[in-house]
Amino acid sequence: MNLKEKLITFGANIARNTKAVSMITPINLDDKVDEFIDWYLENMVKGKDNDIREYHFPKEMRNLIEKIAVWYELRYPSYEINRLMPGSGQEQININDVMFRNNPYVNELLGENSDAKELIWSDFYNTQVFLKSLPGEERCYFSPRCSAIVLNSNFRVAHLYLTNYGVIEMAEDVTDYTNSVIKDEELIGLNVRDVVKLFQEKGIELLENNELEKVIKTVDKWIYQNEGILDCAMYRIIERGGNRIGPRRAFLFAKEFGRNIDIPMMYAVDCSDPGLRLFINEYLKAGGSKDLVCYKGYFSRASKKEKVATISIQELVLTQNNNAPKKHELPQRMVNAIASQADHGAVEQKEVKQLRLERKIEKSRNMQ
């Protein structure tokens, strides 16, 4: 075989063994937010208020989504995300120190040895506290306005009283309405969807466009709205945080609020990220799929229409397996960050009770 033939054969072998790189236009996360805002306008706003409110409601919804994203950033600053899932240089700062241990207000008001020093910021600024801190006009987005419905048929009337999400709290005159086929007490605790099924199973006809089925549609819309708000907040967390912090912070958000953990992972692939393999491990431990296809370099595009390569988690595991830094091979600042997290975790989780006991003993001695 001459040189030319060898080169042709060599080229053919490369072609056979080289997988074509798939280039696609990634789903732009800000576009997903816009899609939800459009749905909200069409399904929850139009026809229900005047033109001025119809103009302002979508803006207020967008502001709420942004507020949720900012709250999560405040709850988990970048350096705390890096401490939990290293991906870049670690600042020598701890949010619990800032908010409690080294807070001049706490020290002056409660003293240097206050039990407030053992508070954990992410637990302190929790979801319930955040929601309660919202003004009423924003809290109402999470509460469907379902309270009571009336059933009318052949001069018979029944009343059903519902929780915010369509569960029957009290029923009146259903026994008479159904000629004792269904008793009032049978409906307590049922979802309106189950009430409709029960009526159908018992042969009780409901009028066309009856209130029960209208409530089902209303509750479904409210659930979709709540899910959409959380999903959009997750999208904004990814975009606002950038290529490493954004997906990691959104991953925590997704786990806490039952969102799809695939989405943060899809946008997290930065092959220069020294902690990428560690993040993949966290994703897989949380139930993620090795078949998930991710975007490579989503945050490195020059425009939202620019195409990017794709790669599966399985391929990432194989390519990162030998090159991904092990814990002892990470840059020293990352090793310090991991050790720091372990130290803080030990103090905050295992020794809090002991610290409190010692301080109480000390206080008791000082009072004697």
Cα–Cα distance, 171 to 44 (Å, whole number)? 28
Would strands 308-312 and 168-172 be described as parallel, antiparallel, or unpaired?
A: unpaired
For residue 269, the model assigns a pLDDT of 95
Cα–Cα distance, 143 to 21 (Å, whole number)? 47
Instruction: Please classify residue 29 by burial: count the beta carbons closer than 10 Å to its beta carbon, then call 0-12 exposed, 13-18 middle and 19+ buried.
Output: buried
Would strands 308-312 and 23-24 be described as parallel, antiparallel, or unpaired?
A: antiparallel
Distance linking the first and last C-alpha atoms of the chain? 100
Side chain identity at 158, as an amino acid letter? A
Residues in a beta bridge with 312: 293
Residue 78's alpha-carbon distances to 35, 155, 286, 295, 346, in angstroms, are 28, 64, 21, 22, 21
At 171, give phi and psi (nearest 5°).
-130, 140
Question: Which pLDDT tens digits describe the chain residue by residue (368 residues)?
Answer: 555 454 455 444 544 444 556 789 999 999 999 999 999 999 999 877 778 888 899 999 999 999 999 999 999 999 999 999 988 777 889 999 999 999 999 888 888 888 888 999 999 999 999 999 999 889 888 766 666 788 877 678 888 888 777 889 899 999 988 889 999 999 999 988 899 999 999 998 888 878 888 888 888 888 899 999 999 999 999 999 999 999 999 999 999 999 999 999 999 999 889 999 999 999 999 999 999 999 999 999 999 899 999 999 999 998 875 444 444 444 444 434 444 444 444 444 445 455 555 555 555 555 55
What are the contacts of 281-289 at 24+ separation with CB within 8 A? Answer: 282/85, 282/251, 283/251, 283/313, 284/313, 286/251, 286/255, 286/261, 287/261, 288/261, 288/262, 288/313, 289/262, 289/313
For residue 327, the model assigns a pLDDT of 43
For residue 163, the model assigns a pLDDT of 79
At 160, give phi and psi (nearest 5°).
-125, 130
